[in-house]
Chains A and B, each alone.
Chain A
Amino acid sequence: MDVKISLDTPVEELVERFPEAVGFLLRRSVRCIRCGEPLWCSLGELLKEDGIENPQILLNELNKHIKKTERVPRPQNS
């Protein structure tokens, strides 16, 4: 499975397709969902707001993590 999460990916899309990303990011103090609802911004904006110094490194780790969990993502709403 070729996962393509980028810094431009909307958080709404990320949590819908790859829920496992939520826990992964929260363990790194990045909160994708609040009050059960995803934030209305891109992943890149969220990482910046939550003080991640090198977003690209975390993004790479996230993509690896998603790939490793080997779950079939829900189809992207299209």
Chain B
Amino acid sequence: MNKLLEKLKIKDVNIGACAGEGEWYEDPQGTELVSYNPATGEPIAKIIQATEKTYEQVVSQAVEAFKSWRMMPAPKRGLVVRDLGQALREFKEPLGELVAVEMGKIKAEGIGEVQEMIDICDFAVGLSRQLYGLTMHSERPGHRMYEQWHPSGAIGVITAFNFPVAVWAWNAAIAAVCGDTVVWKPSSNTPLTAIAVQNVCNKVMADHGLKGVFNIVIGYGSIVGEKMINDKRLPLISFTGSTKMGQRVSEATASRFGRTILELGGNNAIIVAEDADLEMAVRTIIFGAVGTAGQRCTTTRRIIMHKSIASELTQRIVQAYKQVRIGNPLEEGILMGPLVTKSAVEDMMAALEKAKEQGGEIIYGGNRLTELGEQFVEPTIVKMPAQTEIVHHETFAPILYFLEYKDIEEAIRLHNEVPQGLSSAIFTTNLITAEKFLSHEGSDCGIANVNIGTSGAEIGGAFGGEKETGGGRESGSDAWKGYMRRQTNTVNWSGELPLAQGIKFGD
């Protein structure tokens, strides 16, 4: 463990506010945050949290750095992000391992998450030469009209524990090539991975003589988070977390006319049609429901299965659940680690009680695995008689609800009935059914897949969802536009002064 921490320059006590190499800000008033290993319950290291004073120091640096960073040509900014991607390649293994140690996902997933950081850096490098604006034909003679995209400013990025590094990278790499500087508040459950990432950034930026582009403030949401969402110097807040908190972030940021990118709760379902390839469906369901111990935004939480195949599919999934090895996420062959906190375990158990009260029947799991540690649980399947109140909630744990349907219309109705709208999938070999699901009368989610699951998105697509998922888009496609401000320009080279709509004014 010590060697791992040393490689990533994590100390016993770390400072939680930084604006670049040599720019770590400590306030004697800062409280200590202990990061625990969820698999063992042992403390890993401590952080001195940011205070209002150190928050001010960091944000001031970010705002100042923006003035010069925005003037660097975008392709040059891309080269800096290219070097960040290279540095992440060097730290892929230890950083991925630290993700597993601190957050509890298995090591392969931790390393995969760092790969996602590298991928988005590569994407951002290419993007740095493609921040295109449109040109329009002006209705006025001798006029040229076009739009351009300008950097927004110092932006706030607030991330959750479940993807402690990838979600930051989705935002930060894109924002950086767009010319923004980034102030990052990571989850208090995973502060050490954030410190490790900051260390990597600091070195890369120092090599380019830069600071204040990638910045960090670690602290309670009720202190640091509230400062960020109410800070007029941050024109954009990208928030990943719950619907409830997203509402708070949205209201506060909107009240000062700031913008938000919200990636909030999901309640993702897979419809398994009567003609589905069940072998493929089962493998997908296991990965989607059990992976990351059910703590992904895109975790598969509901299976809506056709009545005719319900019995066979249930049997196959239960059989597969029995094969899932649970334990220390660093061990080879383990597929599911612990939940992130003891609170998460309590939350799961209380949700299961509610499901039972609402007619649910636990057909697999449902128990704590205290012999493995306080935060280990069995992945659980609950057969529901109907889509009751508890099924409408997102419980961040490996609970999978089974529901049945008679025809595709009923399946889609059940699918869309929940308030969240992040990710969705259908397993079918029928083209008509697949197209119906993808059509405007089909899935109402931001992500809709056929014959692949709800999780495991690639960085190339825009990631996000509708309804209570918040409507934001991060990562690929044209999500970059969210990090810039659009400016419409009209240039008159005619020597005359014609008005739009043919208006004559004082002629």
**Which residues from chain A sit less than 8 Å from chain B, CB to CB?**
10-13, 15-16, 19-23, 26-27, 31-42, 74-75, 77-78
14 contacts between A and B (CB under 8 A): A12-B220, A12-B222, A13-B220, A16-B341, A20-B342, A22-B350, A32-B347, A33-B396, A36-B347, A38-B343, A40-B220, A40-B245, A40-B248, A77-B33
Query: A12-B221, A78-B32 given. 9 additional CB < 8 A pairs?
Result: A23-B346, A35-B241, A36-B161, A36-B295, A36-B340, A36-B344, A38-B221, A40-B221, A77-B33
Q: Quick check: is B177 within 8 A (CB to CB) of the other chain?
A: no
Provide the bound-state CA to CA distance between A29 and B242, in Å: 17
Report chain B residues within 8 Å CB of A40.
220-222, 225-226, 245, 248
Q: Quick check: is B394 within 8 A (CB to CB) of the other chain?
A: yes
Q: Quick check: is B152 within 8 A (CB to CB) of the other chain?
A: no
Interface code B76-92, partner A: CB below 8 Å = 1, 0 otherwise?
Answer: 00000000000000000
User: In the complex the two chains form, is B244's CB within 8 Å of A34's CB?
Assistant: yes
Identify the 9 closest CB pairs spanning chains A and B, nearest first: A34-B242, A19-B342, A40-B221, A23-B346, A26-B350, A35-B242, A22-B346, A36-B396, A19-B343
Q: Name the residue in A19, A31, A35 with the highest tally of chain B Cβ atoms < 10 Å from its Cβ.
A: A35
Report chain B residues within 8 Å CB of A31.
244
With both beta carbons as reference points, the residue of chain B lying nearest to A34 in the complex is identified as B242
Within the complex, the shortest CB–CB distance from A29 to chain B, in Å, comes to 9
Q: Contacts A37-B242, A40-B226 given: A77-B344 contact, CB under 8 Å?
A: no
Provide the bound-state CA to CA distance between A32 and B346, in Å: 11
User: In the complex the two chains form, is A37's CB within 8 Å of B346's CB?
Assistant: no
Within the complex, the shortest CB–CB distance from B429 to chain A, in Å, comes to 34
Report chain B residues within 8 Å CB of A74.
34
Provide the bound-state CA to CA distance between A37 and B244, in Å: 11
Provide the bound-state CA to CA distance between A56 and B416, in Å: 39
Chain A interface main SS type: mixed
User: In the complex the two chains form, is B265's CB within 8 Å of A34's CB?
Assistant: yes
Report chain B residues within 8 Å CB of A34.
241-245, 265, 394, 396
With both beta carbons as reference points, the residue of chain B lying nearest to A32 in the complex is identified as B343
Provide the bound-state CA to CA distance between A5 and B160, in Å: 26
Q: Contacts A34-B241, A77-B33 given: A19-B346 contact, CB under 8 Å?
A: yes
Q: Quick check: is B238 within 8 A (CB to CB) of the other chain?
A: no
Q: Contacts A27-B350, A33-B347, A35-B265 given: A77-B241 contact, CB under 8 Å?
A: no
Report chain A residues within 8 Å CB of B32.
77-78
User: In the complex the two chains form, is A26's CB within 8 Å of B346's CB?
Assistant: yes
Report chain A residues within 8 Å CB of B245.
34-35, 37, 39-40
With both beta carbons as reference points, the residue of chain A lying nearest to B161 in the complex is identified as A36
Provide the bound-state CA to CA distance between A32 and B221, in Å: 14
Report chain B residues within 8 Å CB of A78.
31-32
The answer, among A15, A37, A42, for a CB contact under 8 Å with B187, is A37
Interface code B321-349, partner A: CB below 8 Å = 1, 0 otherwise?
Answer: 00000000000000000011111111101
Report chain A residues within 8 Å CB of B162.
35-36
Q: Quick check: is B193 within 8 A (CB to CB) of the other chain?
A: no
The answer, among B222, B264, B265, B344, for a CB contact under 8 Å with A33, is B344
Report chain B residues within 8 Å CB of A33.
343-344, 347, 396
Interface code B345-367, partner A: CB below 8 Å = 1, 0 otherwise?
Answer: 11101110110000000000000
Q: Name the residue in A27, A34, A39 with the highest tally of chain B Cβ atoms < 10 Å from its Cβ.
A: A34
User: In the complex the two chains form, is B160's CB within 8 Å of A35's CB?
Assistant: yes
Report chain B residues within 8 Å CB of A32.
343, 347
Q: Quick check: is B114 within 8 A (CB to CB) of the other chain?
A: no
Within the complex, the shortest CB–CB distance from B44 to chain A, in Å, comes to 14
With both beta carbons as reference points, the residue of chain B lying nearest to A50 in the complex is identified as B244
Within the complex, the shortest CB–CB distance from B2 to chain A, in Å, comes to 23
The answer, among A12, A23, A39, A42, for a CB contact under 8 Å with B347, is A23
Provide the bound-state CA to CA distance between A36 and B344, in Å: 6
Provide the bound-state CA to CA distance between A37 and B33, in Å: 15
With both beta carbons as reference points, the residue of chain B lying nearest to A46 in the complex is identified as B244
Within the complex, the shortest CB–CB distance from A18 to chain B, in Å, comes to 9
Q: Quick check: is B297 within 8 A (CB to CB) of the other chain?
A: yes
Report chain B residues within 8 Å CB of A23.
346-347, 349-350
Q: Quick check: is B49 within 8 A (CB to CB) of the other chain?
A: yes
Report chain B residues within 8 Å CB of A26.
346-347, 350-351, 354
Within the complex, the shortest CB–CB distance from B180 to chain A, in Å, comes to 24
Q: Quick check: is B188 within 8 A (CB to CB) of the other chain?
A: yes
Report chain B residues within 8 Å CB of A37.
160-161, 187, 189, 221, 241-242, 245
Report chain A residues within 8 Å CB of B297.
35
The answer, among B222, B346, B350, B396, for a CB contact under 8 Å with A41, is B222
Within the complex, the shortest CB–CB distance from A32 to chain B, in Å, comes to 7
Interface code B2-43, partner A: CB below 8 Å = 1, 0 otherwise?
Answer: 000000000000000000000000000001111000000000
Interface code B153-173, partner A: CB below 8 Å = 1, 0 otherwise?
Answer: 000000011100000000000
User: In the complex the two chains form, is A27's CB within 8 Å of B353's CB?
Assistant: yes
With both beta carbons as reference points, the residue of chain A lying nearest to B264 in the complex is identified as A35
The answer, among B49, B264, B342, B347, for a CB contact under 8 Å with A77, is B49
Provide the bound-state CA to CA distance between A34 and B342, in Å: 14
User: In the complex the two chains form, is B33's CB within 8 Å of A22's CB?
Assistant: no
Report chain A residues within 8 Å CB of B34.
74-75, 77
Within the complex, the shortest CB–CB distance from A50 to chain B, in Å, comes to 10
Within the complex, the shortest CB–CB distance from A5 to chain B, in Å, comes to 14
Within the complex, the shortest CB–CB distance from B173 to chain A, in Å, comes to 23
